[in-house]
């Protein structure tokens, strides 16, 4: 089922996010970049620390609006501070999803720059919303399920490990080494000289 071009999708998705976090999100748009290739209602919502999490959260609204019969997803990323670069990151992901190749669960993305500050994490891994579960992860619109997935910043070495060892191995590595997922200064969990 194709999602129709309508403000209703964006409005209901915003309500979904705001109901989950318990506060209003601030809608943000880039003034430049690939915005002309996105749905007219596309925005990124910024949520400051709240009762759910003591960190910022940025969520796409309209990444999959009117575009696909499958691969209907939205993304969110957590961060220790507010930064417009996260709006850019999610906008570029949304543009890639709509115009190049649809993104989906367990895909990796080459960001092409640090996700925040001078972080070594210049890639992203699309994950289930393990911190939040289905309450945030499942959005229903017109009897269709849209998945809201967690964008986790990772290093190139971690991306390579996922390609060679598999998704389960990467997620086990995150658990074993207690991934500090929203710390831009974290070191890679994989030593660049490590064999796997």
Average pLDDT, the chain: 91
Q: Which band of pLDDT confidence, cut at 50, 70 and 90, is reported for residue 33?
A: confident
pLDDT tens sequence across 131-190: 999 999 999 988 889 999 999 999 999 999 999 999 999 999 999 999 999 999 999 999
pTM for the full predicted model: 0.92
Evaluate whether 80 touches 56 at the Cβ level (below 8 Å). yes
d(CA 53, CA 184): 17
Nearest to 125 by CA among 78, 66, 167: 167
């Amino acid at each position: 089922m194709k999602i129709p071009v309508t403000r209703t999708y964006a409005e209901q998705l915003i309500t979904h996010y705001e109901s989950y976090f318990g506060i209003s999100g601030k809608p943000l748009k880039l003034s430049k970049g690939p915005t002309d290739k996105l749905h007219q209602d596309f925005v990124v919502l910024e949520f400051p620390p709240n009762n759910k999490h003591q960190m910022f959260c940025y969520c796409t609204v309209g990444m999959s609006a009117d575009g696909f019969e499958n691969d209907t997803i939205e993304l969110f990323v957590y961060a220790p501070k507010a930064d417009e670069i996260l709006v850019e990151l999610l906008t570029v992901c949304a543009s890639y999803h709509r115009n190049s190749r649809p993104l989906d669960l367990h895909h990796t993305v080459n960001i092409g720059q640090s996700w925040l500050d001078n972080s070594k994490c210049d890639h992203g891994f699309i994950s289930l919303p393990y911190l939040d579960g289905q309450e945030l992860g499942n959005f229903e619109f017109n009897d269709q399920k849209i998945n809201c997935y967690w964008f986790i910043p990772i290093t190139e070495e971690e991306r390579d490990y996922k390609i060679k060892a598999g998704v389960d191995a990467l997620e086990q590595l995150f658990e074993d080494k207690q991934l500090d997922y929203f710390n831009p200064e974290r070191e890679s969990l994989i030593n660049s000289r490590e064999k796997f």
